[in-house]
Chains A and B, each alone.
Chain A
Amino acid sequence: NAGVTQTPKFRVLKTGQSMTLLCAQDMNHEYMYWYRQDPGMGLRLIHYSVGEGTTAKGEVPDGYNVSRLKKQNFLLGLESAAPSQTSVYFCASTRPSGTTDTQYFGPGTRLTVL
């Protein structure tokens, strides 16, 4: 199993440009998440999905949109990038078991907005 994969690994955008980050998981997990991580900060939840076709807002959803058309994929979109969105983005997935909800993370996408 590849686990959780993210593409691209790095990207530089100009202010106002748009892009989509792709997250894929091959573990048949129901739940998927997008986080951003800034220097000296923990992970902050942007959006999450509890199943195919469903999405919900997290702690910092403004400026981002998401889609979960297939169970294995979770897309994060930036319609008009801003320098404040410069960050490292992590995707995670989990299969709620009723006992624990351990999240498995991807390797991250480093995004710079100029």
Chain B
Amino acid sequence: GESVGLHLPTLSVQEGDNSIINCAYSNSASDYFIWYKQESGKGPQFIIDIRSNMDKRQGQRVTVLLNKTVKHLSLQIAATQPGDSAVYFCAEHQAGTALIFGKGTTLSVSS
């Protein structure tokens, strides 16, 4: 079936580097996408979302890019900090259904 997935299960970066976490989706009917951050022992926390009629959206230190041509979503974190270490999930929304989550990418930030 159609699903949302992430390219890499783990990503290791140095503090201060920029991080890019990728996600591929397969359903062109999805109307928006959300990135969540999950720290150990906690529930997922909303980071940023983007509607399907946009190709870029910026937040505080984060940018989400959407490429509908290749059905690709990315989350860019600027000046990555140790506190950014977590599992990051993308999720897609299709009208009339609940969110579909990818498997997650574990981001490890070393000092």
Write the residues of chain A forming the contact surface with B, with a CB cutoff of 8 angstroms: 4, 33, 35, 40-45, 48, 58, 90, 92, 99-108
Contacts and interface: CB of A to CB of B under 8 A. Distances in A.
Contacts of A100: 32, 34, 49, 51
A43 B89 contact: yes
Interface string B29-42: 00010100000011
Interface of B: 4, 9, 32, 34, 41-46, 49, 51, 89, 93, 98-99, 101-104
Contacts of A58: 98
A42 B46 contact: no
Contacts of B51: 99-100
Nearest to B1: A59
Nearest to B43: A105
B66 to A, nearest CB: 14
Contacts of B41: 107-108
A40 B101 CA distance: 12
A90 to B, nearest CB: 5
A45 B100 CA distance: 8
Contacts of B46: 102-104
